[in-house]
Amino acid sequence: MRIGKSICFSVLIGFFPQLLTGYSPKSWLLDNYLIEETFDIMSIYVGNLAYSITPENLTEVFAEYGKVKRVHVPTDRETGRMRGFAFVEMETAEEEASAIEELNGAEWMGRELKVNEARPREPRSSFSGGGGGGGRRNDRF
Protein backbone atom coordinates (compact mmCIF):
# COMPACT_ATOMS: atom_id res chain seq x y z
CA MET A 1 0.00 0.00 0.00
CA ARG A 2 1.65 3.22 -1.13
CA ILE A 3 0.35 6.67 -0.38
CA GLY A 4 2.12 9.60 -2.00
CA LYS A 5 1.63 13.33 -1.85
CA SER A 6 -2.05 13.20 -1.19
CA ILE A 7 -4.45 14.69 1.23
CA CYS A 8 -5.54 11.17 2.14
CA PHE A 9 -2.47 10.52 4.30
CA SER A 10 -2.71 13.87 6.09
CA VAL A 11 -6.42 13.48 6.71
CA LEU A 12 -6.03 9.90 7.91
CA ILE A 13 -3.31 10.79 10.41
CA GLY A 14 -5.02 14.09 11.32
CA PHE A 15 -8.31 12.44 12.25
CA PHE A 16 -6.93 9.17 13.61
CA PRO A 17 -3.54 9.91 15.25
CA GLN A 18 -4.05 6.98 17.63
CA LEU A 19 -3.57 4.63 14.63
CA LEU A 20 0.04 5.73 14.28
CA THR A 21 2.02 3.01 16.00
CA GLY A 22 5.53 3.50 14.67
CA TYR A 23 7.62 6.03 12.76
CA SER A 24 10.77 6.19 10.75
CA PRO A 25 11.79 9.00 8.39
CA LYS A 26 10.71 7.07 5.28
CA SER A 27 7.83 4.90 6.47
CA TRP A 28 4.90 4.73 8.84
CA LEU A 29 3.47 1.66 10.53
CA LEU A 30 -0.26 2.15 10.56
CA ASP A 31 -2.43 -0.64 11.98
CA ASN A 32 0.13 -3.20 10.81
CA TYR A 33 0.27 -1.74 7.28
CA LEU A 34 3.58 -0.27 6.26
CA ILE A 35 2.96 2.94 4.35
CA GLU A 36 6.03 4.20 2.54
CA GLU A 37 6.27 7.91 1.87
CA THR A 38 6.65 8.48 -1.84
CA PHE A 39 7.15 12.20 -1.49
CA ASP A 40 10.69 13.50 -1.32
CA ILE A 41 12.37 14.43 1.93
CA MET A 42 15.01 17.12 1.96
CA SER A 43 18.08 15.42 3.29
CA ILE A 44 20.74 18.11 3.81
CA TYR A 45 20.33 21.08 6.15
CA VAL A 46 22.50 24.11 5.40
CA GLY A 47 22.62 26.74 8.15
CA ASN A 48 24.26 30.08 8.90
CA LEU A 49 23.72 31.30 5.35
CA ALA A 50 24.06 34.90 4.24
CA TYR A 51 20.65 36.45 3.63
CA SER A 52 21.65 37.38 0.09
CA ILE A 53 22.05 33.82 -1.24
CA THR A 54 19.78 32.37 -3.90
CA PRO A 55 18.82 28.78 -4.71
CA GLU A 56 21.02 29.09 -7.78
CA ASN A 57 24.05 29.96 -5.59
CA LEU A 58 23.49 26.86 -3.46
CA THR A 59 22.94 24.63 -6.49
CA GLU A 60 26.25 25.81 -7.91
CA VAL A 61 28.14 25.02 -4.69
CA PHE A 62 26.55 21.59 -4.12
CA ALA A 63 26.85 20.59 -7.80
CA GLU A 64 30.58 20.11 -7.19
CA TYR A 65 29.66 17.02 -5.14
CA GLY A 66 27.00 15.49 -7.41
CA LYS A 67 23.65 16.10 -9.04
CA VAL A 68 21.40 18.47 -7.10
CA LYS A 69 17.75 17.40 -7.30
CA ARG A 70 16.21 20.28 -5.37
CA VAL A 71 17.05 23.31 -3.23
CA HIS A 72 14.55 24.92 -0.86
CA VAL A 73 15.30 28.29 0.74
CA PRO A 74 12.57 29.10 3.31
CA THR A 75 11.49 32.72 3.62
CA ASP A 76 9.75 34.61 6.39
CA ARG A 77 5.99 34.77 5.83
CA GLU A 78 5.71 38.38 6.93
CA THR A 79 8.76 39.97 5.30
CA GLY A 80 9.57 37.57 2.47
CA ARG A 81 13.20 37.69 3.60
CA MET A 82 15.34 34.56 3.60
CA ARG A 83 15.57 32.90 7.03
CA GLY A 84 19.28 32.02 7.01
CA PHE A 85 19.04 28.31 6.25
CA ALA A 86 18.14 26.01 3.38
CA PHE A 87 17.59 22.37 2.44
CA VAL A 88 19.33 20.58 -0.40
CA GLU A 89 18.43 17.23 -1.88
CA MET A 90 20.94 15.36 -4.00
CA GLU A 91 20.69 12.35 -6.32
CA THR A 92 22.40 9.77 -4.07
CA ALA A 93 23.22 9.28 -0.40
CA GLU A 94 26.92 9.08 -1.28
CA GLU A 95 26.81 12.51 -2.91
CA GLU A 96 25.01 13.90 0.13
CA ALA A 97 27.57 12.41 2.53
CA SER A 98 30.43 13.84 0.47
CA ALA A 99 28.87 17.32 0.38
CA ILE A 100 28.18 17.26 4.14
CA GLU A 101 31.73 16.16 4.94
CA GLU A 102 33.37 18.76 2.71
CA LEU A 103 31.10 21.76 3.32
CA ASN A 104 30.38 21.55 7.06
CA GLY A 105 32.47 24.29 8.68
CA ALA A 106 33.60 25.73 5.34
CA GLU A 107 33.55 29.49 4.93
CA TRP A 108 31.25 30.81 2.20
CA MET A 109 30.19 34.39 1.60
CA GLY A 110 31.86 35.46 4.85
CA ARG A 111 30.10 32.87 7.04
CA GLU A 112 31.00 29.47 8.44
CA LEU A 113 28.47 26.99 7.04
CA LYS A 114 26.69 24.46 9.21
CA VAL A 115 25.92 21.50 6.95
CA ASN A 116 24.43 18.26 8.25
CA GLU A 117 21.77 15.67 7.60
CA ALA A 118 18.31 17.17 7.90
CA ARG A 119 16.17 15.82 10.73
CA PRO A 120 12.42 15.30 10.54
CA ARG A 121 10.43 18.30 11.66
CA GLU A 122 9.41 18.19 15.30
CA PRO A 123 5.64 17.97 15.79
CA ARG A 124 4.22 21.22 17.09
CA SER A 125 1.44 21.53 19.60
CA SER A 126 -1.69 23.41 18.67
CA PHE A 127 -0.79 26.07 21.20
CA SER A 128 1.72 28.73 20.27
CA GLY A 129 4.23 30.35 22.52
CA GLY A 130 6.09 29.05 25.48
CA GLY A 131 4.68 29.86 28.84
CA GLY A 132 0.96 30.05 29.07
CA GLY A 133 -0.12 33.05 31.03
CA GLY A 134 -3.32 34.74 29.85
CA GLY A 135 -4.33 38.13 30.94
CA ARG A 136 -3.68 39.77 34.28
CA ARG A 137 -5.25 38.46 37.42
CA ASN A 138 -6.77 40.78 39.89
CA ASP A 139 -5.96 39.34 43.30
CA ARG A 140 -7.20 42.26 45.35
CA PHE A 141 -10.55 40.69 46.21
- Residue pLDDT, tens place only, 35-92: 444 444 559 999 999 999 999 999 999 999 999 999 999 999 999 999 999 999 999 9
The answer to whether 31 touches 59, Cβ cutoff 8 Å, is no
For the chain, what are the domain ranges?
2-37, 44-117
Q: Which of 68, 10, 19, 76 is nearest to 37 (CA)?
A: 10
- Taking CA 122 as the corner, what is the angle to CA 34 and CA 42, rounded to the nearest 5 degrees? 70
Which residue intervals of the chain are DSSP H helices?
A: 7-15, 55-62, 93-103
| pTM of the complete model | 0.60
Which CATH number among 3.20.20.70, 3.40.50.300, 3.90.1530.10, 3.30.70.330 corresponds to the domain 44-117? Answer: 3.30.70.330
